[in-house]
């Protein structure tokens, strides 16, 4: 027994040594990523949180801590509340509509056998296009006098509005552009989810009585797309909340702040008015909204997701 015990001890020491060596190797391999995350994510976030409690302005050599004054000002700031409301409306339109359209397009493309590659490329083109470059096209489409949209409305006797210059239509016009941008990316994600569904499940569902395409979708496709739908919903919501390029390029937040959104307000305060402390407080609120949305989606929707 003593000889057996003495033989086990070196084996345990050797195993422990290998585990420590593997752990050191793992930390060394992860070190570059850890350094990048700390330098480019954690430290900037910490700096933004700190500056949110100051009155720092670009060009000013001195600043002081002001506590929660910036956040108290946000509550009474009509422009901030307007941008928050506009962002909410924009997200409520773009996210669900783009998800529904992307799913429908993905189902149609998946059922297509002859021109599947062409339609995938055609619908994905808006994702690869620069919105700044496409702004000229959208300005032409929405032009009140020479735009084809108003020309089509005039054919049926409907007077077309000034889409990008009227307070009542500008946010909906930007929402149309946002949907156009998002559908292609969401479609690719749904196509990936559809190709991962085993074909045997459809055959089994048909044997069990699911004869129509709708029955097969309800019993097989939709439940199996649960993880993909959760991911697409999260990404679409975050991207909608982060809208900036279309506002900056096409409307500059106008008219009368009707299209001003959170990121544009942060940009205005930080880089136009140079109020970095106030802009940092707005950024903290913006990040908090993203975190809360992600948390709610993963904790509410994740319970209804079927993982294969």
Q: Write the DSSP assignment of 177-232 as a string of letters.
A: HHHHHHHHHHHHHHHHHHHTS-HHHHHHHHHTT--SHHHHIIIIIHHHTHHHHHHH
Query: Cβ distance 253 to 268 under 8 Å?
Result: yes
Domain boundaries, the chain: 71-304
Peptide bond into 216 cis (omega under 30): no
For the question of whether the overall pTM of this predicted structure is more than 0.75, the answer is yes
Mean pLDDT of successive 10-residue stretches along the chain, which has 308 residues: 55 74 90 95 94 89 89 93 95 96 91 76 80 85 91 90 92 94 92 88 81 84 88 92 92 91 94 93 93 82 62
Residue 239: name the closest of 87, 125, 128 by CA. 87
pLDDT at residue 169 in the model: 94
Fold designation for 71-304: MetI-like fold (1.10.3720)
């Amino acid at each position: 027994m003593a000889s057996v015990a003495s033989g086990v001890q070196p084996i345990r020491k050797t195993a422990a040594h290998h585990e420590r060596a593997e752990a050191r190797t793992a930390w060394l391999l992860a070190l570059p990523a850890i350094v990048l995350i700390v330098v480019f994510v954690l430290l900037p976030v910490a700096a933004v949180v700190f500056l949110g409690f100051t009155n720092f302005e670009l060009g000013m050599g001195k600043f002081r801590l002001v506590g929660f004054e910036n956040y108290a000002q946000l509550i009474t700031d009509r422009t901030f509340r307007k941008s928050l409301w506009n962002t909410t409306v924009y997200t409520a339109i773009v996210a669900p509509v783009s998800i529904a359209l992307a799913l429908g397009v993905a189902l149609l493309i998946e059922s297509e056998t002859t021109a599947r590659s062409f339609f995938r490329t055609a619908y994905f083109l808006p994702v690869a296009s620069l919105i700044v470059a496409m702004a000229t096209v959208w300005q032409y489409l929405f032009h009140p006098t020479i735009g084809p949209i108003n020309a089509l409305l005039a054919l049926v006797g409907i007077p077309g509005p000034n889409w990008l210059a009227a307070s009542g239509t500008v946010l909906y016009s930007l929402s149309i552009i946002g949907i156009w941008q998002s559908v292609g990316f969401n479609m690719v994600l749904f196509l990936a989810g559809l190709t991962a569904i085993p074909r045997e499940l459809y055959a089994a569902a048909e044997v069990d009585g699911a004869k129509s395409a709708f029955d097969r979708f309800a019993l097989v496709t939709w439940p199996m797309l649960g993880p993909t739908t959760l991911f697409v919903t999260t990404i679409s919501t975050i991207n909608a909340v982060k809208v900036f390029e279309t506002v900056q390029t096409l409307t500059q937040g106008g008219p009368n702040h009707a299209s001003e959104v959170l990121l544009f307000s942060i940009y205005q305060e930080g880089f136009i008015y140079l109020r970095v402390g106030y802009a940092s407080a707005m950024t903290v609120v913006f990040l908090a909204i993203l975190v809360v949305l992600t948390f709610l989606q993963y904790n509410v929707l994740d319970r209804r997701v079927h993982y294969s």
